[in-house]
Amino acid sequence: MSSPPNADELLEAIGELLETDVMPAVPGDLQHRVRVAANLVQILRREWRLGPEQDALEHAALRDLVGPDRSTADMSTGELLAALDGLLKEDAATPADIDVQAWHVLVAVVQGELAIVKPGHDQWQGE
């Protein structure tokens, strides 16, 4: 007895069906919609595969940036972003290089998100 397919396998099958069977069979005015649907399935598939790790990396990087002295252990990612926002607005009480550190963390976060929604655009190495 084989195990049922997981979400990645199901999404892959749906995407292939849309691209190979449905797209050529529908009228031209619907092909764009089918192409969009197939693309959304691929985004969902990457989100399912990469999302949890990306979320964990983002949370850990923000927690390290905000610092343990702010009792960050139980903070959500949204709360950590708000704390970072507060740190960046403070002038005297923040480390001198917090803006540089924040830049690097936020670039890494956006690159992780782009790997999910727009692969290839996540390779930016600029400043």
What is the per-residue pLDDT for 88? 83
**Structural contact between residues 76 and 83, judged by C-beta atoms closer than 8 angstroms:** no
Q: Is the pLDDT at 32 greater than 80, yes or no? A: yes
pLDDT at 47 over 70: yes
Q: Residue 126: which pLDDT band, with cuts at 50, 70 and 90? A: low
Confidence (pLDDT) at 91 = 63
Average pLDDT over the chain reads 88
Cα–Cα distance measured from residue 85 to residue 81, given in angstroms and rounded to the nearest whole number: 6
pTM over 0.85? The answer is no
d(CA 65, CA 118): 26
Is residue 95 very low, low, confident or very high in pLDDT (cuts 50, 70, 90)? Answer: low
**85 sits in which H/E element:** helix 77-89
Q: For residues 83 and 89, give the distance between their C-alpha atoms in angstroms, rounded to a whole number.
A: 10
Tokens of 84: 């970072």
Q: What is the mean pLDDT of residues 13-17?
A: 95
For 11, counting Cβ atoms within 10 Å of its Cβ (0-12 exposed, 13-18 middle, 19+ buried), the class is buried
How far from 102 is each of 20, 34, 54, CA to CA, in Å?
A: 44, 40, 17
